[in-house]
Every structure is written in C-alpha cells, then in structure tokens.
C-alpha cells in the first residue's frame, strides 16, 4: 500500500473520541491537518464526509473519509505500522479488541447515563460504572497486561490510547458528581496507574495545547 500523502482530521476539541485519534496519529509521527467542526452548525463539506451518523471524528486520507473512532484507530495502526498499537499475536489482538469493544458497548452508555440523570438514577449509573471499571481492570490484568507503565509494557497500545484519552472526561464527571471518585486507586489501581503514565506523554500534552485554542467551542 502506498504511503498516504494527505491526512486530515475533522474533529471537535471537546470530544474524547477525537482526542484518541489525535494521539494515535501523533504517536505514529503522522503529519496531519486539523479541521474543527462546529457541531451545532455542521458544514455541507463535513456532512458529505459522514452522511450516516454525521459525527466526529472523521479521518480523511487522500480524499477518502473514514468515520468512527475505533475504526479509525485500527486503520491508523494498519497504515502506519510503527510503533504498533495492537499486539502482533492474533489471540492477544483479539483480547485487546474485546476489551476495546467492552469500553464502547458497556462503559460509554453508562457514562452518558451519569451525565444525563440525577438522584437515584445517577447513583445507580455510578455504581454500574464502578462495576464495569473493575471488570475492565480484572480483564486487562488477566488478558493483556505485562509489567511496565503501559498495557503492553514500555510503549502505549490501543487500550492506553482509549483509556488515557478519557481521563479528562472522567475527571470532569467527578467534579460534576462532587465527592464521588470514579478513578480510585484502591478500587482500580492498574487502570489509574495506566492513565497516569499516559497523561505524562508528550503527545498528550501537545494535543491538549493545540486544542486549547478551540476551548471556547
């Protein structure tokens, strides 16, 4: 496959899904242009790129649009091989994909539920979040973690990118919940330490700085 020439990311500064894609591209050293999409007033240009769900992120590579963050992350990993985000071993790769899918299918809806409810319903959603987070901790520990700051040891992998990109969002939720700890080192020590290590990466800080110019969005 020829190396792509023009890479453009359509995103929104406050979207954790888009942050993942910024990080993946930067971890791979891919040069790209960024287009901030006004989600309240989506342009015709953007709607043509993703007429199905009309959501960011959309990565456009040599004019060809690729929507959906998890699909994009895997495309990026297959297109720019180094450093790899997914393990070489296909069984391990399936485990990483399983836990990535768990985050999207089980955890994301609960996060939306915490945001959109209050009182008893919100307490229930928080309990559910903590339960899923512990399941994820145990699953990652058993299935894919090897000693080191990141999930596969010394270099960040796909699950680091997904979880690490969500850290700010989790912290905002904690502020909103005033007093409830979602990221608890006693409850989920491995996930907390993986996210702390990830937050120290230069690509994370550089992305945050670059996106801060759109912070009013």
Ligand X SMILES: N[C@@H](CCC(=O)N[C@@H](CS)C(=O)NCC(=O)O)C(=O)O
Least Cβ distance, residue 127 to ligand X (angstroms): 24
3-class secondary structure for 45-98?
Answer: HHHHHCCCCCCCCEEEECCEEEECHHHHHHHHHHHCCCCCCCCCCHHHHHHHHH
Q: Which residues contact 50 (CB under 8 A, 6 or more apart)?
A: 58, 65, 67
Tokens of 161: 């990118």
Nearer to ligand X, 69 or 165 (CB): 69
What is the rounded CA–CA span in Å between residue 140 and residue 144? 5
Distance CA 21, CA 160 (A): 12
Largest CA distance in the chain: 54
Query: Which residue number, 70 or 92, has a Cβ lying nearer to ligand X?
Result: 70
Instruction: Tell me the HSE value of 104 on the side-chain side, using a 13 A CA sphere.
Output: 13
- Cβ(19)–Cβ(206) under 8 Å? no
Least CB distance to ligand X at residue 37 (A): 7
State yes or no: residue 15 binds ligand X (CB under 6 A).
Answer: yes
Query: Does 211 contact ligand X by CB under 6 A?
Result: no
Q: Are 80 and 30 in contact (CB under 8 A)?
A: yes
Select 15 or 165, whichever has its Cβ closest to ligand X: 15
Nearer to ligand X, 12 or 86 (CB): 12
Angle between helices 90-102 and 158-177 (to 10 degrees): 20
Give residues 41-70 in contact with ligand X (rule: CB under 6 A).
54-57, 68-70
Minimum separation from the CB atom of position 36 to ligand X (A): 12
Of 72 and 192, nearer to ligand X (C-beta) is 72
Q: Which stretch binds ligand X (CB under 6 A): 12-20, 155-163, 170-178, 200-208?
A: 12-20
Site string for ligand X, 159-178 (x = CB under 6 A): --------------------
Give 114 or 192: the residue with its C-beta nearer to ligand X. 114
One symbol per residue from 23 to 42: x for binding ligand X (CB under 6 A), - otherwise; what is it? ----------------x---
Shortest reach from residue 120's CB to ligand X, in Å: 26
| Interaction site with ligand X (CB under 6 A) | 12, 15, 17, 39, 54-57, 68-70
């Amino acid at each position: 496959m020829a190396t792509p020439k023009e890479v453009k990311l359509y995103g929104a500064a406050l979207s954790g899904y888009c942050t993942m894609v910024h990080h993946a591209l930067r971890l791979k050293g891919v040069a790209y242009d960024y287009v901030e999409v006004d989600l309240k007033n989506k342009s015709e240009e953007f709607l043509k790129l993703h007429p199905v769900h009309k959501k960011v992120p959309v990565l456009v590579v040599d004019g060809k649009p690729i929507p959906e963050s998890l699909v994009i992350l895997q495309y990026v990993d297959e297109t720019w091989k180094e450093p790899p985000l997914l393990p070489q071993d296909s069984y391990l790769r399936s485990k990483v994909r399983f836990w990535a899918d768990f985050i999207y299918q089980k955890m994301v809806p609960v996060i939306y539920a915490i945001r959109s409810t209050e009182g008893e319903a919100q307490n229930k959603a928080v309990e559910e979040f903590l339960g899923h987070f512990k399941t994820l901790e145990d699953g990652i520990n058993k299935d894919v973690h090897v000693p080191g700051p990141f999930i596969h040891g010394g270099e960040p992998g796909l699950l680091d990118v997904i979880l690490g990109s969500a850290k700010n969002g989790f912290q905002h939720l904690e502020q909103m919940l005033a007093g409830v700890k979602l990221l608890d080192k006693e409850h989920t020590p491995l996930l907390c330490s993986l996210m702390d290590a990830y937050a120290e990466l230069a690509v994370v800080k550089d992305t945050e700085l670059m996106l801060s110019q759109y912070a009013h969005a």
